[in-house]
Amino acid sequence: QVQLVESGGGLVQAGGSLRLSCVASGRTFSSVAMGWFRQAPGKERELVATISSGGKTYYTGSVWGRFTISRDNAKNTLTLQMNSLNPEDTALYYCAAEPRGERYSPNAYTYWGQGTQVTVSS
Protein backbone atom coordinates (compact mmCIF):
# COMPACT_ATOMS: atom_id res chain seq x y z
CA GLN A 1 0.00 0.00 0.00
CA VAL A 2 1.36 3.40 -0.94
CA GLN A 3 1.60 5.72 2.02
CA LEU A 4 3.01 9.15 2.76
CA VAL A 5 3.31 9.93 6.46
CA GLU A 6 4.16 13.41 7.71
CA SER A 7 5.68 14.22 11.07
CA GLY A 8 7.36 17.09 12.87
CA GLY A 9 4.47 19.48 13.28
CA GLY A 10 3.69 21.17 16.55
CA LEU A 11 3.34 24.44 18.39
CA VAL A 12 6.07 27.02 18.05
CA GLN A 13 6.40 30.71 18.84
CA ALA A 14 6.86 33.29 16.13
CA GLY A 15 10.44 33.37 14.96
CA GLY A 16 10.99 29.72 15.77
CA SER A 17 11.74 26.76 13.55
CA LEU A 18 10.29 23.37 12.74
CA ARG A 19 11.40 20.56 10.51
CA LEU A 20 8.73 18.50 8.81
CA SER A 21 9.42 15.05 7.41
CA CYS A 22 7.48 12.85 5.04
CA VAL A 23 8.26 9.17 4.84
CA ALA A 24 7.01 7.31 1.80
CA SER A 25 6.37 3.61 1.59
CA GLY A 26 4.88 1.17 -0.86
CA ARG A 27 6.91 2.45 -3.79
CA THR A 28 9.86 4.65 -4.54
CA PHE A 29 9.28 8.29 -5.47
CA SER A 30 12.81 9.01 -6.61
CA SER A 31 11.78 9.57 -10.22
CA VAL A 32 8.87 11.94 -9.61
CA ALA A 33 8.29 15.41 -8.24
CA MET A 34 7.14 15.92 -4.68
CA GLY A 35 5.80 18.87 -2.79
CA TRP A 36 4.56 20.41 0.41
CA PHE A 37 1.16 22.05 0.60
CA ARG A 38 -0.75 23.60 3.46
CA GLN A 39 -4.32 24.35 4.34
CA ALA A 40 -5.65 26.66 7.01
CA PRO A 41 -9.24 26.47 8.28
CA GLY A 42 -11.62 28.00 5.77
CA LYS A 43 -8.88 28.30 3.17
CA GLU A 44 -8.04 26.37 0.04
CA ARG A 45 -5.04 24.09 -0.04
CA GLU A 46 -2.06 26.06 -1.27
CA LEU A 47 1.41 25.37 -2.55
CA VAL A 48 4.35 25.77 -0.18
CA ALA A 49 7.25 24.26 -2.11
CA THR A 50 8.02 21.60 -4.68
CA ILE A 51 11.08 19.66 -5.72
CA SER A 52 11.60 17.81 -8.96
CA SER A 53 13.14 14.39 -9.35
CA GLY A 54 16.35 16.18 -10.31
CA GLY A 55 16.31 18.46 -7.27
CA LYS A 56 14.96 21.64 -8.83
CA THR A 57 13.05 23.58 -6.18
CA TYR A 58 10.24 26.09 -6.22
CA TYR A 59 8.85 28.13 -3.33
CA THR A 60 5.77 30.22 -3.00
CA GLY A 61 6.62 33.86 -2.39
CA SER A 62 5.47 33.98 1.23
CA VAL A 63 8.02 31.37 2.34
CA TRP A 64 10.95 32.41 0.16
CA GLY A 65 14.17 32.58 2.13
CA ARG A 66 12.62 30.97 5.19
CA PHE A 67 11.72 27.45 4.10
CA THR A 68 13.88 24.81 2.44
CA ILE A 69 12.56 21.71 0.71
CA SER A 70 14.83 18.73 0.24
CA ARG A 71 14.62 15.05 -0.50
CA ASP A 72 16.63 11.95 0.28
CA ASN A 73 15.89 9.43 -2.41
CA ALA A 74 17.90 6.70 -0.68
CA LYS A 75 15.54 6.96 2.29
CA ASN A 76 12.44 7.79 0.24
CA THR A 77 11.82 10.87 2.37
CA LEU A 78 10.92 14.50 1.87
CA THR A 79 11.79 17.29 4.28
CA LEU A 80 10.67 20.86 4.85
CA GLN A 81 12.88 22.99 7.06
CA MET A 82 10.91 25.99 8.27
CA ASN A 83 12.67 28.94 9.86
CA SER A 84 11.48 32.36 11.01
CA LEU A 85 7.94 31.11 11.37
CA ASN A 86 5.10 33.57 11.71
CA PRO A 87 1.42 33.11 12.62
CA GLU A 88 0.46 33.21 8.94
CA ASP A 89 2.27 29.88 8.55
CA THR A 90 -0.26 28.17 10.80
CA ALA A 91 -1.91 25.39 8.81
CA LEU A 92 -2.17 21.68 8.27
CA TYR A 93 0.84 20.72 6.18
CA TYR A 94 0.67 17.93 3.63
CA CYS A 95 3.28 16.19 1.58
CA ALA A 96 2.34 15.05 -1.90
CA ALA A 97 3.96 13.09 -4.69
CA GLU A 98 3.79 12.36 -8.39
CA PRO A 99 1.98 15.20 -10.09
CA ARG A 100 0.35 14.49 -13.41
CA GLY A 101 1.04 17.66 -15.27
CA GLU A 102 2.53 20.78 -13.79
CA ARG A 103 3.79 20.39 -10.24
CA TYR A 104 2.52 23.64 -8.78
CA SER A 105 -1.13 22.69 -8.51
CA PRO A 106 -2.48 20.52 -5.68
CA ASN A 107 -4.98 19.08 -8.15
CA ALA A 108 -2.17 17.42 -10.08
CA TYR A 109 -0.78 15.21 -7.32
CA THR A 110 -1.50 11.52 -7.13
CA TYR A 111 -0.50 10.69 -3.55
CA TRP A 112 -1.08 12.60 -0.32
CA GLY A 113 -0.29 12.21 3.32
CA GLN A 114 -2.78 12.87 6.09
CA GLY A 115 -1.12 16.08 7.20
CA THR A 116 0.71 17.39 10.23
CA GLN A 117 -0.44 20.46 12.12
CA VAL A 118 1.81 23.49 12.45
CA THR A 119 0.69 26.20 14.82
CA VAL A 120 2.67 29.40 15.26
CA SER A 121 1.78 31.63 18.17
CA SER A 122 2.47 35.33 18.39
**pLDDT value at residue 103:** 84
pLDDT in tens, 89-100: 999 999 999 999
pLDDT truncated to tens, each residue of the chain (122 aa)? 999 999 999 999 999 999 999 999 999 999 999 999 999 999 999 999 999 999 999 999 999 999 999 999 999 999 999 999 999 999 999 999 999 988 889 999 999 999 999 999 99
Nearest to 3 by CA among 118, 106, 110: 110
**pLDDT value at residue 72:** 95
**pLDDT value at residue 88:** 97
**pLDDT value at residue 101:** 84
Distances (CA, A) of 16 to 57, 83, 85, 94: 23, 6, 6, 20
**pLDDT value at residue 102:** 83
Determine the Cα–Cα distance for residues 38 and 85; give it in Å rounded to an integer: 14
